[in-house]
Amino acid sequence: MSENNVEKKSKIKIVIMVVALLILVGGGAFAGYYFSQKGKQANNTPQPNNQQMASSVNVNQNSGYVRNIVPSNTFEAGEFLVNLSDEESRRFVKTKVYLGYENKRLTKELEQKKPIILDAINSVLRSKKSTDFNEKGVEKIKLEILEKVNIAFQNGRCETVYFTELIIQ
């Protein structure tokens, strides 16, 4: 009888140790998940997801009025991968930018001044936060790009900005 008691006690000890081990592992996993999610939830603002955009903006020179147009010419400014100015986390934007224009004389000037154009677009994008890339914010960013880029031209001006790819991460 005493041998059965010893066997039962040792089996009970093993079962208790296994249950305790499972509780510890489960608690550790829960704590790790909880604290990793807590850091992500510190910023309660909605985070933009990957977006595919192909829209244009036109600014009426006199009033600043924004309207959609389809220009007859486009210039590929290229692909940009830029760190954003978010302070709480490291975020970046990846985008492809095209500039739309009507005046054919601007074509040669766009090629000649491509470094100036790229610098202007980079500086605008770097100054933005991830929360600036909502529907209205993207339109404001396009207007700001147009303002910075058009300063460089003498033979015309760009009327539209296209984002054919816009990814914020």
The string of pLDDT tens digits covering residues 27-69 is 888 877 777 766 554 444 444 443 433 444 444 444 444 445 6
Q: Which residues pair with 29 in a beta bridge?
A: none
Task: Please state the domain extents for the chain.
Answer: 1-42, 58-168
CB within 8 Å of 152: residues ≥ 6 apart: 113, 116, 117, 120
- Distance from C-alpha of 84 to C-alpha of 92, rounded to nearest angstrom: 5
Q: Give pLDDT, residue 72.
A: 82
Domain spanning 58-168: CATH superfamily: Band 7 domain (3.30.479.30)
End-to-end CA distance of the chain: 68
- Distance from C-alpha of 153 to C-alpha of 158, rounded to nearest angstrom: 9
| Residue corresponding to tokens 């990957």 | 50
| Residue corresponding to tokens 């910023």 | 43
Q: Are 141 and 133 in contact (CB under 8 A)?
A: yes
Closest to 51 (Cα-Cα) out of 169, 167, 163: 167
Position 93 pLDDT exceeds 80: yes
Radius of gyration of the chain (CA): 28
Q: Are 73 and 101 in contact (CB under 8 A)?
A: yes
- Distance from C-alpha of 62 to C-alpha of 69, rounded to nearest angstrom: 17
Q: Are 143 and 57 in contact (CB under 8 A)?
A: yes
3 state SS of 159:
strand
Closest to 83 (Cα-Cα) out of 143, 132, 125: 125
With bands split at pLDDT 50, 70 and 90, how would you rate the model's confidence at 144?
A: very high
Q: Give pLDDT, residue 54.
A: 40
% residues pLDDT > 70 (the chain): 79
Q: Which residues of 70-107 are buried (b: 16+ CB within 10 A; e: fewer)?
A: ebebbbebeebebebebeeeebbbebbbbbbbebeebe
pLDDT, one tens digit per residue, over 108-138 is: 999 999 999 999 999 999 999 989 998 889 9
Q: Give pLDDT, residue 40.
A: 53
